[in-house]
């Protein structure tokens, strides 16, 4: 009875929404591995990847900010990396039911094996040959009632900010993902939860219920960036949170988006503590609130993207005090640092496709990129951390011989207040983004 009532309500909502958009024509919705339309195959296979060389003309010593003068003449260091290699799989079961997965290998994944060491009298040892991470970033089941109403359940991307919602390498000019959002928020932010989304005329909406963040993992350098992580076999979720996003695409070539997040983070770990009324933590909630705006404008000749994000953490001083006082037993996964009351990031990049002026099918973008962000705006009584306020300026090229492939080059610098050393860099990379079967 309840099930039929829910289906009836959703069907009515679809009919009303369809009337609002005057029974729009057939459509294709491509949300990562999801395709809601008639197509030649039920199976969708795609992915993206990046291979990068970078040279950093500054010291990588952990004391380069606290003792800047010691490292002003650093020789620099180079790195090669595979930031992301991703396989996306989707399947259409029919009757509105689809599934999607995204498996990501970061920095080459993890190469480990048990080996018998002949130089150590045949002792067996676990050898780690290469660092990195393997993550299941998406794993969801979806029921599409109509274009306007879709229910997604499982492991999903949290679409807060520009980069989380547009994280494939063809959606930014820089060799690495934009630094500001990637510093102060989880990126790519993925959680296990429920999402309701749809499209009405020129609008797309999405509302999610997901686990709250874990304030024990917040820190000064990255604000809440690590708060969605979990070192355990499960994700603690004593507190739930909400996320939402709205996109407007009613002007040709232009997308305008607003997104946000809100949820409590304190006491949301593997063990919850019942604090007495006399404890300073009794009423602490550690509420995280984030608001974000981003946009993109694109035509044949140019692409411009920009973002502005602001975040606030209630009880930041209490959270900091609690984190610094946590046990230091062996294997403890916590950073033991303070966390700021606020963090923010803003950025813009623009690229000009010079080959468009010669009517060539290939694209060659000359671009400029600028970001300014601060991962630690202190609460009252907290000492400021000057190096947390950073700017990034860069210029570069993106050459796309075909639409799925880009060869990127970038030169720039990270800038601080005058008491710190600037951090020049150069990077070059190859990237691909595409579908093998859809």
pLDDT tens per residue, range 389-430: 999 999 999 999 999 999 999 999 999 999 999 999 999 999
- pLDDT above 90 for 92: yes
Which of 388, 387, 386, 385 lies closest to 375 in space, CA to CA?
Answer: 388
Residues of the chain above pLDDT 70, percent: 86
Is 388 part of any domain? yes
Closest CA to 370 of 417, 306, 317, 429: 306
| pLDDT band of 21, cuts 50, 70, 90 | very low
Residue 372 and residue 411 in contact, taking contact as beta carbons nearer than 8 Å: no
Q: Which two tokens stand for residue 335?
A: 């950073």
Q: Which of 414, 301, 310, 409 lies closest to 360, judged by CA?
A: 301
Q: How many structural domains is the chain composed of?
A: 1
Stretch among 11-25, 79-93, 413-427 having the lowest mean pLDDT: 11-25
Q: Which domain holds residue 189?
A: 43-111+132-437
407 located within any domain = yes
Residue 150: HSE in the Cβ half-sphere, 13 Å Cα cutoff? 26
Q: Within a 10 A sphere around the Cβ of 282, how many other Cβ atoms?
A: 10
Mean model confidence pLDDT for the chain = 89
Answer for the pair 52, 83: CB distance below 8 angstroms, yes or no.
yes
Q: How many helices (H) and strands (E) does the chain have?
A: 4, 21
Backbone angle region of 399, left / alpha / beta, with phi > 0 → left and psi within -120 to 50 → alpha? beta
Q: For residue 59, is it within any domain?
A: yes
Query: Which position has the higher pLDDT, 371 or 123?
Result: 371
- Name the percent of the chain lying above pLDDT 90: 74
Mean pLDDT along residues 371-380: 96
pLDDT confidence of 14, banded at 50, 70, 90? low
Predicted confidence (pLDDT) at residue 337 exceeds the cutoff of 80: yes
9: in domain: no
243, burial (CB in 10 Å: exposed 0-12, middle 13-18, buried 19+) = buried
**pLDDT for the residue numbered 330:** 58
Q: For residue 135, what are the β-bridge partners?
A: 104
Enumerate residues 6+ apart whose C-beta is below 8 A from 36.
Answer: 27, 28, 29, 96, 98, 144, 147, 150
Q: What is the pTM (predicted TM-score) of this model?
A: 0.89
In a domain, 31, yes or no: no
**Does residue 114 surpass a pLDDT of 80?**
no
φ, ψ for residue 98, nearest 5 deg: -135, 165
CA 87 – CA 49 distance, rounded (Å):
9
233: confidence class by pLDDT, cuts 50, 70, 90: confident
The CATH number for 281's domain is 2.40.160.10
Q: Does residue 8 form part of some domain?
A: no
pLDDT digits (tens, 9 = 90+) for 169-210: 999 999 999 999 999 999 999 999 999 999 999 999 999 999
Q: Is it the case that residue 25 has pLDDT exceeding 50? A: no
d(CA 61, CA 259): 36
Residue 1: pLDDT above 60?
no
Query: ∠ at Cα 422 (421, 425), nearest 5°?
Result: 135
pLDDT of residue 2: 45
Cα gap 148→203, rounded to integer Å = 10
Residues in the chain: 438
| DSSP 8-state symbol, 5 | H
pLDDT digits (tens, 9 = 90+) for 130-175: 778 888 999 999 999 999 999 999 999 999 999 999 999 999 999 9
Are β-strands 97-106 and 85-94 bridged in parallel, bridged antiparallel, or unpaired?
Answer: antiparallel
In this predicted structure, the answer to whether residue 33 has a pLDDT above a threshold of 50 is no
**Burial class of residue 210 (count of CB atoms within 10 Å of its CB; 0-12, 13-18, 19+):** buried
Asked if 34 contacts 418 with a C-beta cutoff of 8 angstroms, the reply is no
**Burial of 113 by CB count in 10 Å (0-12 exposed, 13-18 middle, 19+ buried)?**
exposed
DSSP 248-266: E--STTEEEEEEEEEEE-T
Question: What are the backbone angles phi and psi of residue 142, rounded to the nearest 5°?
Answer: -130, 140
Residue 48 has pLDDT above 90, yes or no: yes
- The pLDDT of 107-124, averaged and rounded, is 66
Average pLDDT over residues 253-259: 98
The DSSP secondary structure of 146-191, one letter per residue, reads ETTEEEEEEEEE---SHHHHS-SGGG-SSSSPPHHHHHHS-TT-EE
Tell which residue, 179, 65, 76, has the closest CA to residue 424. Answer: 76
Residue 193 resides in a domain: yes
The answer to whether 314 and 339 have CB atoms below 8 angstroms apart is no
Residue 26 is predicted with a pLDDT of: 32
Q: Is residue 17 part of a domain?
A: no
Average pLDDT over residues 244-259: 98
């Amino acid at each position: 009875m309840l099930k039929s009532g829910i289906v009836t309500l959703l069907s009515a909502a679809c009919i009303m929404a369809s009337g609002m958009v005057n029974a729009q024509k057939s459509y294709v919705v491509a949300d990562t591995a999801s395709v809601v339309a008639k197509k030649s195959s039920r199976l969708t296979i795609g992915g993206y990847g990046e291979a990068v060389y970078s040279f950093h003309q500054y010291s990588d010593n952990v004391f380069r900010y606290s003792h800047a003068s010691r490292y002003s003449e650093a020789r620099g260091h180079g790195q090669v990396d595979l930031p992301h290699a991703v396989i996306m799989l989707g399947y259409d079961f029919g009757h509105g039911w689809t599934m999607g997965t995204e498996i990501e290998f970061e920095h080459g994944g993890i190469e480990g094996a048990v080996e018998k060491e002949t130089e150590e009298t045949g002792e067996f040892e676990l050898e780690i040959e290469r660092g990195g991470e393997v993550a299941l970033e998406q794993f969801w089941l979806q029921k599409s009632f109509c274009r306007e109403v879709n229910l997604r359940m499982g492991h999903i991307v949290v679409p807060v900010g520009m980069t989380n919602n547009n994280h494939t390498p063809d959606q930014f000019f820089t060799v690495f993902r934009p630094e500001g959002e990637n510093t102060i928020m989880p990126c790519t932010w993925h959680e296990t939860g429920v999402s309701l989304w749809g499209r009405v005329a020129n609008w797309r909406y999405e509302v999610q219920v997901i686990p709250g963040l874990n304030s024990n993992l917040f820190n000064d350098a990255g604000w809440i960036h690590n708060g969605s992580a979990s070192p355990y076999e499960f994700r603690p979720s004593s507190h739930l949170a909400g996320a939402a996003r709205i996109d407007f695409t009613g002007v040709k070539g232009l997308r305008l988006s607003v997104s946000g997040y809100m949820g409590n983070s304190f006491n949301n770990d593997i063990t919850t503590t019942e604090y007495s009324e006399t404890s300073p933590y009794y009423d602490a909630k550690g509420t995280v609130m984030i608001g974000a705006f981003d946009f993109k404008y694109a035509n044949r000749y140019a692409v411009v993207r920009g973002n502005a994000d602001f975040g606030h953490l209630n009880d930041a001083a209490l959270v900091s005090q609690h984190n610094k006082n946590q046990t230091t037993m062996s294997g403890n996964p916590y950073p033991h640092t303070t966390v700021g009351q606020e963090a923010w990031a803003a950025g813009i990049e623009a690229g000009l496709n010079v080959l468009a002026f010669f009517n060539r099918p290939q694209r060659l973008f000359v671009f400029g990129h600028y970001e300014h962000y601060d991962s630690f705006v202190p609460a009252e009584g907290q000492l400021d951390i000057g190096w947390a306020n950073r700017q990034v300026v860069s210029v570069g090229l993106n050459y796309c011989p075909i639409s799925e492939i880009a060869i990127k080059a970038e030169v720039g610098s990270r800038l601080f207040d005058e008491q710190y050393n600037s951090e020049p860099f150069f990077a070059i990379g190859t990237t691909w983004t595409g579908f093998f079967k859809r």
